Structure 1
């Protein structure tokens, strides 16, 4: 719902023509026969983010900082092309009826800085991070269990390079941007080759609850455990737009950043 409000460029669609039963390639053709290259992914709003090592708690003063880790996992909702989605499996609360799925697993480190005394306003900057996208012809990603997100074929990989975001504990909202670089493209699935190109990502923390959001019990086999002030899990919603440009354009960076996840969650924890 909120991702529509920020006008993300990731539309609906995916994979090769109506006669293809599974994703031999994440490219597709428009009705006039023109190849529509894969250009982005809209990850489902049921994604999960796990904040670890966050300790901006108590009556902090302006300038206080903290480094924390955000781990993110989700399954794809739609792929950006101009043709209808073909057999994409979107796990619950999606239709869960397709024959294959795409998933993402990402880990980033960020620095949170109190903007004011009391830390009701927080700025977040990206330190570093990596992301991997997987294709799986046997859909099994389970957000509740936190399993099945890394067992497919690795089709895209990359780094997170820059990003800034902000969060207001008073209003409970925040936003920013995140940019990265593609370090590997599996051309069996993705064309053109995106190696070395840039991407932009949006990420929001709408705070949805069950059944729209399912809290993961684990990330890559590591149990999340109960939420604490410094380690907690939150609902996340993000998209990736692959520009196929070697040099990032500042005008493309006005999207909501992954950092927001961590800060929104942290602030919510701090207030409780």
Structure 2
């Protein structure tokens, strides 16, 4: 799936546009479900109707800056091979399980960014902003009782945690807004700090994530607003109050431990990376 579908008004510090992640490695990477072990595993294509909520975006004029907070959550539309192909026959049983509701993979990411307004409309609306990632964490879960609810923000963290990490600080993105909508883009790199070898092998070392955010009339997911996040029971989407709720689409790939390979990724979500920690 193309990363051109998820964003929402991260104009608030969520710069995200399109993102794609690819990873190439020598060892064969495998993913294990309740029905078997499959390969070659390369990462996840997160559903295009993922959700991102940014808070603290209070910019109104060029030159202003603010610290923003972003939470992103989604479930996987498919698993992909190292070339980002979800149709690899070796992964068909995993993807059939996703489509058939036998299991689901979910991701929750939390990031802090510095937003800098670079242009405004002269009437109190920041129309373009740059975002710099200060910190970011993410975790991926495998759940054999699919129950995620994207608008309520529930059911995204009740599975088995199979991968976890942080995003490296310093990555930047941009966001462009109008009076009724907005889109953004960014690419994040990071390290994997936890791999559960009961589900993913070998240990993953690096990750690249890309996302696209859409807000208001630029959304393609129907425009329904979330009422909660996986980290917060209740939220109120209110752009004027600095809380922007967006559609988010993303892809994420991984590089295994034996480090002689290249991480290539195009995408954005303005957050990314972490130190690696092996599972016990």
TM class by shorter chain equals 0.7 to 0.9
Q: Given the alignment of the two structures, is residue 66 of structure 1 paired with residue 70 of structure 2, yes or no?
A: no
C-alpha distance 210-121 of structure 1, shift in aligned 2 (>3 A)? closer
C-alpha distance 173-148 of structure 1, shift in aligned 2 (>3 A)? closer
- For residues 61 and 4 of structure 1, the distance between their equivalents in structure 2, rounded to whole angstroms, comes to 27
1:1-272 to 2 correspondence within 5 Å? 2-3=2-3, 8=20, 22=34, 24-25=36-37, 27-28=38-39, 36=40, 38-57=41-60, 60-62=61-63, 64-81=64-81, 82=88, 83-86=90-93, 88=95, 90=98, 97-116=100-119, 119-162=126-169, 163-169=171-177, 172-194=182-204, 197-206=205-214, 207-211=218-222, 214-220=224-230, 221-229=232-240, 230-244=242-256, 246=259, 252-253=264-265, 255-259=266-270
- For residues 236 and 71 of structure 1, the distance between their equivalents in structure 2, rounded to whole angstroms, comes to 11
Deviation at 1:172? 3.8
RMSD: 3.0
Deviation at 1:76? 0.7
Aligned length: 232
Deviation at 1:10? 6.1
Deviation at 1:48? 0.5
C-alpha distance 183-110 of structure 1, shift in aligned 2 (>3 A)? same
Unaligned regions of 5+ residues in structure 1, if any? 29-35, 261-272
Deviation at 1:79? 0.8
- For residues 166 and 250 of structure 2, the distance between their equivalents in structure 1, rounded to whole angstroms, comes to 16
State the Cα deviation string for residues 161-205 of structure 1 (Å, max 9, x = none). Answer: 1321112236944322111110000000001111xx221111102
Instruction: Determine which structure has the larger strand proportion and give its number.
Output: 2
Contact 2:31-2:199 within 8 A present in 1 as well = no
C-alpha distance 151-238 of structure 1, shift in aligned 2 (>3 A)? same
Unaligned regions of 5+ residues in structure 2, if any? 6-17, 24-29, 82-87, 272-280
Aligned to 1:265: none
State the Cα deviation string for residues 189-244 of structure 1 (Å, max 9, x = none). Answer: 001111xx221111102443444x65332112521224242012111001111133
TM-score by length of 1: 0.74
Contact 1:52-1:70 within 8 A present in 2 as well = yes
